[in-house]
């Protein structure tokens, strides 16, 4: 019995409480039973959920709980100071408190998440060989004789990136007078640590969630059905479309790209796009469902992101809670689409300087300096374009820092940077007329093919083929554009069904292009994930390079059918996943609502069938290892 | 909806699932090719059954292995050879552990001549993995330069040198898909693969140092082109061109002498003929060939022309042949009979290689631990240990040495741990570079323990009788070009 209790209540790093495990649901059932007893007393309910959340976090992260408690307390106290000073019109003092709070929060995040990144950077810059040293473990060891903590390693506390952003949003919202402070520490602690969204989001902004703290529990039958739907949807996404594809195909390729052919590498990239979406959105779907069962509403975090017509729209559909956070607390304070602030220049100069020093290349310096001068010149000579330049700079910085939020290695910076570039290129493209578009694209494509001719390196091959595909699509659209100028054709094409058809085709083309672009950026995202932070920079870069090498080298097309046949389950799942993803929103809403309206006994049967179904994927035999490339 | 109703709903679902778990047969429900599984109640209530695996982490295990080796040396080499799971198993008829002495003697003489070790293996050794660490260790101790032989066209780049060809030539291989076989010919050369050229082709070789750092393998002063005797090939290097002789011998070796500090070279070939590889070496010291054979289970050697193998081993003074196979057969070996047949085939291959390289010792390395999902848990292939034992018996009975990588890395369930520690990839089969480095280190340690024993005996006891190398009677043409 003692052992059983110890197993339940102690921290075991190998068995965290995950949504995909039975133990979580047993935990949730017990929590919900107690919640049902307490829900009518608001403060008691919130306090109970706060302590349950702390227990949940302790089971997941052990002593990192202390960090969560610390930021909860510090931001709660500081926000009170800010509000007090704001009420007395002491704006400077309020601002100073805000800065103190942000420095504490970001300092902790930097320490636990970016210590290795900064150490590597300093070592690269100065040629030193410094190692990280965990001060907290050192202090902890001081209290005991046995020295239980390892000082040579800094362990990243689970979910720290999420809850730090939440507390920052709280103090910032109090400073901006969007909300009043939360009087009771238990209420505030509940907001920060609410367990469904604690470790993987969505990032709940204070202004959106705090009003819910004061509302009584209410759950309609339809909401209940929707909540169950989200949970099942999330479980299927996570276990069927994410874990199964990852284990049976994607991880193998990313772990050792050279063992696989170009086709397998590119397939792994596209499959990874589905996997990462299914994984992340699946987890947040479950979080939304679980929270909804308790009467709390978390913001929608994904809106079929691969339906996006362009990179800008993608970021309005992908990890929406982060995008909104970055927009509110980074992009707009930087100046947004109106002007540039000190922050804009500071970040641009800092990032460029670090990148230049790290590359150690005069050519890179010259290129960046030339681009910088050209942008500055346009801004000086063409005041009407200045706003757009500011907006682009601010969104680029936001994307870069947003990239770094995802992980502490250069790969994530590159990933963020590529997304920033994608957005800027799209904005510039949008402003061009069709003649300029085709001229520019023809020149770029020709340049890439020339480069490829003289330097047949894989990356040149890859870009040349990609540019060629985009050029073909653009040419067809250009011809269509020109043809419509002809009176006869214009009369014909004005027919409604034809207009609808061409619009659909154009949209499908835009969706595919955006999907391909986002998939390419994933090259840098995935290869930087799940790595030992001490070697992440080097390994991630090597993996990305090896994949480009394989994808950009000559393909043996004979093996493609064999690959498809041998990995039939994997590819069938991928296509099913993408088809579901691309189903019209209205249709999805229709079946979601219809599910919610079903009688309870039928919902229960569907739940049971779904659990049995997903369990088959957990226990499915692994795909045998097959080589296709010689 | 009232909260208590939701709670009842949740508990009802859990009760239903518990009922299903209680009633569901443990072996699952099979309908046609599909088997439905569901966990039993005991899986929830009792402690989780962890698949068999070592208690120690790979890091602890590796550290202990190294320490054990040192201690065992002090306590007595013999105990080490007999008991340590990371030790090399000597041939069945070699109870005194003298089998590798001819190799060690040759290594001691490597200051005046070239000594070759050939490392054949499956994809575990691709990218020069494992071989690289062994080469580094031996070249540090006994001298030597260069990476040994590489194919003209390298589909998987090595981590030690980079190769690029102006185009991909037609290639044939004895170990790859049947469509890559060469009809009516067994002349695949020493690597089991060849490139056929019929127009000008340029090969450039550059050092790759990001992973390994610069070391002796990146430098070479002799470049040897290995071709078939019947050809019209001319080779150009540093602006000078010369015709390759064709004198009817089994392999044509064409040497180019270069500066000692050479790391980069551009070789241009014209004409037509079969190219078996390009070799980069120093003039003395140890040379280690890395010869990966993707997808191969080690049963193809007798498919290579014996005269060509003989010519290569004799010309290069090969004193040790390492054959590392077994992993690719694992998924298909599911009965004791199939295992015995496979082991017997490997025994034949070992004997075949012994006949082709009478001066060389043979060390067979068995499969690593490989994990697959059995009833939802990652576990070692059911038959893996039996395969390892059967291979060890056949190989040692055939008069060769055997190294059990499976046991050395920790035995059953070790792979799952190596994956968690980043030492093996998520396919639960291949080592990562880091893991391969550890395996290379462990192999080098096992080999050098034998060497220490040899030296110890040399010091302490009577001199070792010298092995009598056979006289090389092969006709070998050597075009020499000194820059």
pLDDT in tens, B5-63: 888 888 888 888 888 888 888 777 888 777 788 877 776 665 556 677 888 888 888 88
Give me the residue label for tokens 């697959």: B372
Half-sphere exposure of B109 (CA within 13 A, CB side): 13
In angstroms, the CA A210 to CA A212 distance is 5
Question: Is A630 a residue whose pLDDT tops 60?
Answer: no
CB B273, CB B155: distance < 8 Å: no
**A371/B contact by beta carbon, under 8 A:** no
DSSP secondary structure letters along A328-397: IIIIHHHTTTT---HHHHHHHHHHHHHHHHHHT-HHHHHHHHHHHHHHHHHHHH-HHHHHHHHHHHHHHH
Q: Which of A234, A221, A242, A355 is nearest to A300 (CA)?
A: A234
**B4/A contact by beta carbon, under 8 A:** yes
Stronger pLDDT, A550 or A537, i.e. the higher one: A550
Signed CA dihedral, A536, A542, A546, A548: sign only: positive
Question: Is B396 a residue whose pLDDT tops 80?
Answer: yes
Q: Angle between the A559-566 and A568-581 helix axes, to the nearest 10 degrees? A: 80
Q: Pick from A5-19, A370-384, A551-565, B452-466 the range whose average pLDDT is largest.
A: A551-565
Give the ipTM of the model, two decimals please: 0.75
Within 8 A of B372 by CB-CB distance, chain A residues are 621-622
Instruction: Give me the pLDDT at residue A10, please.
Output: 64
**B481/A contact by beta carbon, under 8 A:** no
Task: Tally A–B CB contacts below 8 A.
Answer: 111
Note whether A221 contacts B1, CB cutoff 8 Å.
Answer: yes
Q: Which helix H or strand E contains A549, and what residues bound it?
A: helix A536-552
Question: Is A293 a residue whose pLDDT tops 80?
Answer: yes
Kindly report the nearest CA distance between residue B41 and chain A, in angstroms.
12
Q: With bands split at pLDDT 50, 70 and 90, how would you rate the model's confidence at B407? A: very high
Q: What is the DSSP letter of A298?
A: P
Kindly report the nearest CA distance between residue A310 and chain B, in angstroms.
34
Q: Angle between the A362-381 and A383-406 helix axes, to the nearest 10 degrees? A: 140
**B426/A contact by beta carbon, under 8 A:** yes
Taking residues B94-116, what's their average pLDDT? 91
Instruction: Give me the pLDDT at residue B457, please.
Output: 78
Q: Angle between the A221-235 and A600-619 helix axes, to the nearest 10 degrees? A: 10
Task: Give the tokens for residue B78.
Answer: 């013999």
Quick: pLDDT tens for A271-291.
999 998 998 899 899 999 999
Question: Is B92 a residue whose pLDDT tops 90?
Answer: no
Instruction: Give me the pLDDT at residue B465, please.
Output: 47
Quick: pLDDT tens for B326-363.
999 988 888 899 999 999 999 999 999 999 999 999 99
Note whether B10 contacts A608, CB cutoff 8 Å.
Answer: no
CB A226, CB A591: distance < 8 Å: no
Taking residues B233-254, what's their average pLDDT? 80
In angstroms, the CA B103 to CA A91 distance is 82
Q: With bands split at pLDDT 50, 70 and 90, how would you rate the model's confidence at A142? A: low
Q: Which of A163, A140, A137 is nearest to A57 (CA)?
A: A163
Instruction: Give me the pLDDT at residue A576, please.
Output: 95
Taking residues A358-365, what's their average pLDDT? 69
Question: Is B66 a residue whose pLDDT tops 90?
Answer: no
What percent of chain B has a predicted confidence (pLDDT) above 70?
Answer: 91
Stronger pLDDT, A144 or B113, i.e. the higher one: B113
Taking residues B447-464, what's their average pLDDT? 78
**B42/A contact by beta carbon, under 8 A:** no
Within 8 A of B373 by CB-CB distance, chain A residues are 619-622
Instruction: Give me the pLDDT at residue B319, please.
Output: 96
Within 8 A of B295 by CB-CB distance, chain A residues are 627, 630
Quick: pLDDT tens for A64-89.
788 889 989 999 999 999 988 878 88
Architecture of domain B50-482: 3-Layer(aba) Sandwich (3.40)
Q: What is the DSSP letter of A531?
A: -
Kindly report the nearest CA distance between residue A311 and chain B, in angstroms.
32
**B29/A contact by beta carbon, under 8 A:** no
Instruction: Give me the pLDDT at residue B472, please.
Output: 34
Question: How confident is the prediction for chain B on average, in pLDDT?
Answer: 86
Kindly report the nearest CA distance between residue B107 and chain A, in angstroms.
34
Q: Angle between the A568-581 and A262-293 helix axes, to the nearest 10 degrees? A: 50
What percent of chain A has a predicted confidence (pLDDT) above 70?
Answer: 86
CB A389, CB A378: distance < 8 Å: yes
**A252/B contact by beta carbon, under 8 A:** yes
Question: For chain A, which residues make up each domain, given as ranges?
Answer: 2-217, 219-299+556-630
A8-22, A544-558, B134-148, B236-250: segment of lowest average pLDDT: A8-22
Instruction: Give me the pLDDT at residue A17, please.
Output: 63
Question: Is B402 a residue whose pLDDT tops 90?
Answer: yes
CB B127, CB B295: distance < 8 Å: no
Q: With bands split at pLDDT 50, 70 and 90, how would you rate the model's confidence at B482? A: very low
Q: Which of residues 593-612 of A touch B (CB under 8 A)?
A: 600, 604, 607-608, 611-612
Question: How confident is the prediction for chain A on average, in pLDDT?
Answer: 83
Taking residues B73-77, what's their average pLDDT? 68
Q: With bands split at pLDDT 50, 70 and 90, how would you rate the model's confidence at B471? A: very low
Question: Is B85 a residue whose pLDDT tops 80?
Answer: yes
Taking residues B206-221, what's their average pLDDT? 85
Instruction: Give me the pLDDT at residue A251, please.
Output: 86
Instruction: Give me the pLDDT at residue A148, please.
Output: 62
Quick: pLDDT tens for B266-277.
999 988 889 999
In angstroms, the CA A41 to CA A297 distance is 19
CB A617, CB A243: distance < 8 Å: yes
Question: For chain B, which residues make up each domain, given as ranges?
Answer: 4-45, 50-482
Q: Which of residues 504-543 of A touch B (CB under 8 A)?
A: 532, 542
Stronger pLDDT, B236 or A490, i.e. the higher one: B236
Question: Is A339 a residue whose pLDDT tops 80?
Answer: no
Q: Which helix H or strand E contains A605, and what residues bound it?
A: helix A600-619
**A66/B contact by beta carbon, under 8 A:** no
Using DSSP bridges, classify how beta strands B371-374 and B401-403 pair: parallel, antiparallel or unpaired. unpaired
Kindly report the nearest CA distance between residue B17 and chain A, in angstroms.
7
Note whether A252 contacts B426, CB cutoff 8 Å.
Answer: yes
Instruction: Give me the pLDDT at residue B481, please.
Output: 30
Catalytic (active site) residue A453: no
Q: With bands split at pLDDT 50, 70 and 90, how would you rate the model's confidence at A150? A: low
């Amino acid at each position: 019995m003692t052992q059983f209790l110890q197993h339940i209540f102690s921290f075991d790093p190998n068995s965290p409480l995950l949504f995909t495990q039975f133990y979580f649901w047993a935990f949730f059932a017990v929590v919900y039973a107690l919640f049902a007893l307490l829900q009518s007393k608001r403060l008691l309910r919130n306090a109970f959920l706060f302590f349950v959340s702390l227990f949940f976090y302790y089971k997941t992260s052990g002593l990192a709980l202390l960090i969560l408690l610390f930021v909860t307390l510090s931001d709660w106290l500081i926000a009170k100071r800010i509000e007090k000073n704001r009420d007395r019109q002491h704006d400077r003092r309020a601002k100073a408190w805000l800065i103190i709070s942000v420095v504490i929060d970001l300092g902790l995040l930097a320490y636990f998440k970016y210590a290795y990144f900064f150490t590597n950077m300093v070592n690269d810059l100065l040629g030193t060989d410094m190692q990280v040293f965990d001060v907290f473990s050192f202090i902890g060891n001081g209290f005991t004789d046995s020295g239980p903590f390892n000082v040579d390693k800094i362990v990243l506390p689970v979910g720290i990136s999420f809850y730090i952003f939440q507390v920052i949003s709280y103090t910032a919202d109090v400073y901006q007078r969007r909300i009043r402070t939360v009087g009771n520490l238990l209420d505030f602690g509940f907001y920060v640590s609410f367990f469904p969204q604690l470790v993987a989001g969505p990032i709940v902004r204070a202004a959106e969630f705090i009003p819910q703290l004061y509302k009584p529990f209410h759950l309609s039958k339809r909401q209940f059905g929707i909540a169950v739907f989200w949970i099942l949807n999330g479980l299927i996404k996570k276990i069927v479309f994410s874990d199964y594809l990852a284990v049976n195909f994607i991880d193998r390729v990313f772990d050792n790209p050279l063992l696989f052919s170009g086709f397998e590498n590119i397939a792994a990239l596209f499959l990874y796009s589905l996997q990462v979406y299914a994984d992340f959105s699946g987890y947040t779907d479950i979080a939304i469902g679980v929270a909804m069962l308790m009467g709390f509403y978390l913001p929608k975090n994904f809106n079929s992101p691969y339906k996006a017509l362009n990179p800008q729209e993608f970021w309005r559909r992908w990890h929406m809670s982060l995008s909104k956070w970055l927009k509110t607390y980074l992009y707009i304070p930087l100046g947004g689409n109106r002007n540039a602030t000190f922050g804009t220049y500071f970040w641009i100069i800092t990032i460029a300087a670090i990148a230049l020093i790290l590359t150690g290349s005069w050519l890179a310096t010259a290129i960046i300096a030339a681009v910088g001068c050209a942008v500055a010149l346009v801004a000086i000579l063409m005041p009407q374009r200045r706003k757009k330049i500011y907006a682009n700079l601010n969104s680029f910085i936001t994307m870069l820092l947003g990239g770094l939020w995802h992980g502490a290695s250069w790969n994530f910076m590159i990933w963020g940077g590529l997304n920033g570039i994608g957005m800027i290129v799209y904005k510039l493209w949008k402003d061009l007329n069709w003649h300029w578009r085709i001229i520019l694209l023809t020149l770029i494509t020709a340049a890439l093919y020339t480069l490829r001719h003289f330097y047949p390196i894989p990356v040149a091959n890859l870009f040349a083929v990609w540019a060629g595909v985009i050029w073909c699509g653009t040419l067809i659209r250009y011809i269509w554009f020109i043809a419509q100028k002809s009176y006869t054709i214009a009369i014909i094409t004005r027919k409604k069904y034809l207009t609808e058809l061409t619009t659909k085709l154009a949209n499908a083309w835009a969706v595919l292009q955006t999907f391909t672009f986002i998939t390419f950026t994933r090259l840098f995202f995935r290869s930087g994930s799940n790595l030992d932070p001490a070697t992440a920079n080097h390994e991630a870069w090597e993996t990305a390079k090896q994949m480009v090498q394989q994808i950009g080298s000559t393909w043996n097309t004979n093996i493609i059918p064999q690959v498809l046949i041998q990995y039939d389950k994997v590819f069938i799942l991928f296509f099913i996943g993408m088809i579901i993803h691309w189903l019209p929103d209205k249709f999805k809403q229709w079946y979601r609502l219809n599910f919610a309206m079903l009688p309870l006994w039928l919902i229960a049967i569907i739940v049971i069938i779904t659990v049995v179904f997903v369990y088959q994927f957990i226990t499915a035999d692994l795909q045998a290892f097959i080589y296709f490339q010689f | 909806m009232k909260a208590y109703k939701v709670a009842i709903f949740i508990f009802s679902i859990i009760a239903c699932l518990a009922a299903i778990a209680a009633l569901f047969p443990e072996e699952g429900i099979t309908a046609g090719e599909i088997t439905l599984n569901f966990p039993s109640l005991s899986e929830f209530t009792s402690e989780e059954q962890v698949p068999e695996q070592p208690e120690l982490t790979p890091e602890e295990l590796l550290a202990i292995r190294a320490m054990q080796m040192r201690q065992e040396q002090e306590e007595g080499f013999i105990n080490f050879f007999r008991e340590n799971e990371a030790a090399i198993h000597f041939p069945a008829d070699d109870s005194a552990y003298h089998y590798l002495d001819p190799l060690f003697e040759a290594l001691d003489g490597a200051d005046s001549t070239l000594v070759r070790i050939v490392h054949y293996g499956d994809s575990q050794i691709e990218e020069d993995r494992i071989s690289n660490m062994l080469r580094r260790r031996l070249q540090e101790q006994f001298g030597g330069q260069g990476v040994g032989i590489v194919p003209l066209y390298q589909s998987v780049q090595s981590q030690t040198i980079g190769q690029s060809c102006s185009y991909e030539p037609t290639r044939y291989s004895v170990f790859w898909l049947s469509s890559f076989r060469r009809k009516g010919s067994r002349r695949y050369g020493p690597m089991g693969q060849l490139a056929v050229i019929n127009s000008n082709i340029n090969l450039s070789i550059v050092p790759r140092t990001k992973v390994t750092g610069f070391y002796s393998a990146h430098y070479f002063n002799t470049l040897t082109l290995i071709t078939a005797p019947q050809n019209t090939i001319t080779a150009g290097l540093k602006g000078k061109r010369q015709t390759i002789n064709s004198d009817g011998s089994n392999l044509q070796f064409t040497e180019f002498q270069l500066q000692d500090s050479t790391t980069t070279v551009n070789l241009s070939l014209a004409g037509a003929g079969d190219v078996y590889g390009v070799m980069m070496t120093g003039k003395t010291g140890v040379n280690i060939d890395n010869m990966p054979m993707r997808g191969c289970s080690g049963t193809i050697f007798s498919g290579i022309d014996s005269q060509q193998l003989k010519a290569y081993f004799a010309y290069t003074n090969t004193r040790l042949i390492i054959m590392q196979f077994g992993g690719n057969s694992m998924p298909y070996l599911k009965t004791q009979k199939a295992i015995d047949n496979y082991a017997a085939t490997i025994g034949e291959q070992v004997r075949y290689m012994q006949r082709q390289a009478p001066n060389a010792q043979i060390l067979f390395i068995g499969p690593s631990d490989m994990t697959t999902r059995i009833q939802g848990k990652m576990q070692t292939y059911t038959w893996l240990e039996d395969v390892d034992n059967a291979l060890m018996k056949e190989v040692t009975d055939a008069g060769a040495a055997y190294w059990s990588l499976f046991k050395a890395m920790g035995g059953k369930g070790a792979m799952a741990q190596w994956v968690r520690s980043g030492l093996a990839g998520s396919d639960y089969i291949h080592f990562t570079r880091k893991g391969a480095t550890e395996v290379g280190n462990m192999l080098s340690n096992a080999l050098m323990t034998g060497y220490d024993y040899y030296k110890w005996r040399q010091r302490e006891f009577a001199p070792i009788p010298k092995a009598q190398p056979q006289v090389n009677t092969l006709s070998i043409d050597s075009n020499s070009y000194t820059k």
